[in-house]
């Protein structure tokens, strides 16, 4: 049976909050009223900047953009996405989020056809590593919190906000009975950040490996994507 979160009167729940240089910040569940804005942020800031998306030129293919939007929407609907807000001119503003979804071993969630050649190229690159090493088997856990994109708006980067979102996965997961998380990190900076946050690498592949498998990536042997996991004991 697919995972279903108990979304009650306590939600959206706050997972972290702090103040820095007179600016207030809060990491909480993504507010349902912000779902469409969240997807717009992902398309504008992640589809252009994340390496698999940019190399695949996903934004140049309308079918792929629509396909990835629908995929993200189904993930977000599970209500397991940590989001980061701050106040701009007195208004609470969404500036970053991590698209997450709970999946069981062998699960096909979200059950949607991957449409658009550019999106297919990205998606196949992400799942390539799970064929090499199943994170559920590695951690010996049926349920894991999978992530399909972490994005910080460009104007807010360089403040370790990504680390705040990664850290928020732990209380979010534990509160909902999830004991581990897994993500494909696609560039060295995010891989180093994840390692500092306690993630370990269980599988990796170069862009050349992806190209050799038939995917449309440059045969670059020294740039790696990594499947990383963290257990919450």
- 75 in a domain, yes or no? yes
205 lies in a domain? yes
Q: Is residue 65 part of a domain?
A: yes
162 domain-assigned: yes
Q: What's the rounded Cα separation, in Å, for the pair 163 and 193?
A: 7
Asked whether residue 87 is domain-assigned, the answer is yes
Q: What is the pLDDT of residues 172-198, one digit of tens each?
A: 999 999 999 999 999 999 999 999 999
Q: Could you tell me the CATH number of the domain that includes residue 130?
A: 3.40.630.30
Question: pLDDT band at residue 2, thresholds of 50, 70 and 90?
Answer: confident
Q: How many domains does the chain have?
A: 1
In a domain, 105, yes or no: yes
pLDDT one-digit tens code per residue, 38-66: 999 999 999 999 999 999 999 999 999 99
Residue 18 pLDDT: 96
Residue 149 lies in domain:
14-231
Residue 34 lies in a domain: yes
Residue 147: which residues within 8 A CB-CB, separation 6 or more? Answer: 98, 99, 100, 169, 181, 182, 183
Residue 7 belongs to some domain of the structure: no
> What does the alpha-carbon distance between residue 116 and residue 68 come to, in Å, rounded to a whole number?
9
Q: Rg of the Cα trace of the chain?
A: 17
Residue 1 has pLDDT above 80, yes or no: no
Tell me what pLDDT residue 106 has. 85
DSSP state of 12: S
Confidence band of 29 (pLDDT split at 50, 70, 90): very high
Find the mean pLDDT for residues 145-159: 96
């Amino acid at each position: 049976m697919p995972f279903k979160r108990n979304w009650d009167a306590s939600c959206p729940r706050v997972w972290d909050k702090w103040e820095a240089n007179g600016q207030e910040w809060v990491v909480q569940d993504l507010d349902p009223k912000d779902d469409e804005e969240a997807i717009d942020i992902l398309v504008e800031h992640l589809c252009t900047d994340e390496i698999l998306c940019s190399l695949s030129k996903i934004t140049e293919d309308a079918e792929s953009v629509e396909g990835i939007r629908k995929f993200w929407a189904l993930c977000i609907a599970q209500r397991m996405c940590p989001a980061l807000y701050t106040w701009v001119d007195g208004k609470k503003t969404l500036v970053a989020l991590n698209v997450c979804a709970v999946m069981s071993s062998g699960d096909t969630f979200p059950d949607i056809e991957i449409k658009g050649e550019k999106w297919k190229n990205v998606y196949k690159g992400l799942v390539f590593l799970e064929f090499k090493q199943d994170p559920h088997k590695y951690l010996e856990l049926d349920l894991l919190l999978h992530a399909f994109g972490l994005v910080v708006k460009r104007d807010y980067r360089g403040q370790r906000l990504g680390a705040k979102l990664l850290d928020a996965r732990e209380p979010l997961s534990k509160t909902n009975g999830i004991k581990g998380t897994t993500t494909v990190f696609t560039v060295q900076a995010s891989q180093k950040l994840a390692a500092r946050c306690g993630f370990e690498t269980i599988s990796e592949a170069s862009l050349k490996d992806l190209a050799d498998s038939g995917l449309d990536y440059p045969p670059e042997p020294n740039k790696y994507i990594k499947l990383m996991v963290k257990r919450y004991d």
